[in-house]
Amino acid sequence: HLHVHTDYSMLDGAQRCSDTVAQAVKFGMPAVAVTDHGNMSACYEIIQEAGKKNIKPVLGCELYVAPGSCLVKDNSLPHHQGYHLVCLAENYQGYVNLCHLNEEAWLRGFYYKPRVDKDLLRKYHQGIIALSACLGGEIPSLLERNREEDAEITLLEYLDIFGKENFFVELQDHGLEAQKTVNPKLIALAKKHAIGLVVTNDS
């Protein structure tokens, strides 16, 4: 499973890493990710717990991407707290780059949330697989507001940053009306550009 919040996601996740691994074992999953909001604090713990059960840990983070430069701190701007973007370390280089992104987010980009921007994503994209995220992601958010052309431009921008093999359109279905509207548009966009689809649960 590739979209999981542990108790390191303040006010969102409640499950400990040991419980996450236990669920993966119960469901017969060979691997499980941790993608906490704006931090990678669970990485050490998930490695330790997953190792006990022969489960592969996938280290990741749900980043907050500022609408422009993360150095601009202006709460009158739409989405100033950042759009969601799920990033997973494909390899050691990806892990190192996620650490760099988190450092930038907390030390320089912090404004309400620890934020990065697309310039930083371009700088540290190597070894990272990105998912378009939940309704809080930039592409789903644009589609929800019927801005299909802007959503497509944004998709192409992310493809340029991560590469076609390392960016996936993410689908979720929690019975929300917005998801019923957005998901068919996401599928159509993925098919148009021959991009992989990933089905997750905002766990």
pLDDT per residue as tens digits for the range 118-165 = 999 999 999 999 999 999 999 999 999 999 999 999 999 999 999 999
Burial category of 106 from C-beta neighbours within 10 Å (exposed 0-12, middle 13-18, buried 19 and up): middle
pLDDT, one tens digit per residue, over 19-66 is 999 999 999 999 999 999 999 999 999 999 999 999 999 999 999 999
Q: Which of 190, 191, 178 is nearest to 141 (CA)?
A: 178
Q: Crossing angle for the helix pair 148-162 and 177-192, nearest 10 degrees? A: 60
The widest CA-to-CA distance across the chain, in whole angstroms, is 48
Predicted local distance difference test score (pLDDT) of residue 82: 97
E strands, 5-118, in order: 31-34, 56-65, 83-89, 115-116
pTM for the structure as a whole: 0.96
The answer to whether 142 and 149 have CB atoms below 8 angstroms apart is: no
